[in-house]
Amino acid sequence: MDSFYFSAASLRTLEKFLPNNTWVDATGLVNWQRSVKSETELEYMRISGRIIEKVYSRIFELIRPGLKKNELVAEIYATSINGIDGFGGDYPSIVPLVSTGIEAATPHLTWNDAAFEVGAGTFFEVAGVYRRYHCPLSRTVYLGRPPQKFLDAEKAVLEGIEASLDMAKPGKTCEDVAKAFFSVMARRGIQKGGRIGYPVGMSYPPDWGERTMSLRVGDRTVLEAGMTFHLMPGLWFDDWGLEITETIAITPTGHACLSNVPRPLFVMN
């Protein structure tokens, strides 16, 4: 009953032409079966992680004042689809998200043809994709000298990520991971609510999330080896934002990050 591609009209058609059937809502049934990945699936996601490493290397290489956002996004697409070491990339379920300055006060904004300027931060939310398996990753770039509020938020998020990762292990719950992050935010005087992550894997547009559990307070789903999450503790304020994220796999003894891109704020003076 809750599906991207199953409409109310579809249900009425089924009921009309199969009147003797009993219809049961199976929302999320298949998604929950996908929550624990096989080793082959994990390998596909690790390849996606290598692709996103290459994408960020290209971003850091090219970004500069005067470069238009659409020109950089074109390079992001080319790099990700070209893939790495013979593994061809796939198209992502969400287009590259590129928010600068006051735009970064809200998530999920796409690009435009404006040029990057000195004195503004930009966060990127993009994914490497191999055979439909996604490895999303966000990093933030600042052109110029970052204000202290940026540096303070960066330190808080980096500390919060480490606290969450310490809890990301079998036997812990989604809530445990979220509470670890929120405790750091509270100690640093930053208000942050909602979820800080969600499961990812094989997907098609319009979303790369699996729409089952969430890394949030109140979700007591127990973590199991083979589960994969986008740990996504973004901070959005009135006129700026910061995103530093990781895609992780729960292992038998803890967790593993599926890509290796430096987390700290990327500063270009």
* Residue 193 pLDDT: 87
Side by side, which strands form the sheet with 120-130? 97-100, 120-130, 133-143, 266-268
Which residues, 6 or more positions from 140, have their beta carbon under 8 angstroms from its beta carbon? 121, 122, 123, 124, 154, 242, 243, 244, 265, 266
* Residue 90 pLDDT: 98
* Residue 4 pLDDT: 87
Q: What percent of the chain has pLDDT over 90?
A: 97
Answer whether residue 89 shows pLDDT above 90. yes
Q: What percent of the chain has pLDDT over 70?
A: 100
Q: How confident is the model at residue 3 (pLDDT cuts 50, 70, 90)?
A: confident
Answer whether residue 211 shows pLDDT above 90. yes
Helix, strand, coil abundance in the chain, percent, nearest 5: 35, 20, 45
Whether the full predicted model's pTM is greater than 0.75, yes or no, is yes
Structure tokens at 4: 């991207």
Answer whether residue 75 shows pLDDT above 90. yes
Average pLDDT over the chain reads 97
Hey, is 131 helix, strand or coil? coil
* Residue 269 pLDDT: 82
Superfamily, domain 28-268? Creatinase/methionine aminopeptidase superfamily (3.90.230.10)
* Residue 128 pLDDT: 98
109-123 per-position pLDDT tens digit: 999 999 999 999 999
Strand partners, 100: 122
Give the burial class of 48: count Cβ atoms within 10 A of its Cβ; 0-12 exposed, 13-18 middle, 19 or more buried.
buried
186-209 per-position pLDDT tens digit: 999 998 889 999 999 999 999 999
What is the pLDDT averaged over residues 171-183?
A: 98
What is the pLDDT averaged over residues 138-148?
A: 98
What is the pLDDT averaged over residues 7-15?
A: 94
Q: How confident is the model at residue 14 (pLDDT cuts 50, 70, 90)?
A: very high
CA distances from 269 to 20, 63, 83, 98, 146 (A): 69, 12, 30, 20, 9
**Contact 227/250 with Cβ under 8 angstroms?**
yes
Answer whether residue 265 shows pLDDT above 90. yes
215-254 per-position pLDDT tens digit: 999 999 999 999 999 999 999 999 999 999 999 999 999 9
* Residue 198 pLDDT: 98
What is the pLDDT averaged over residues 13-31?
A: 94
* Residue 78 pLDDT: 98
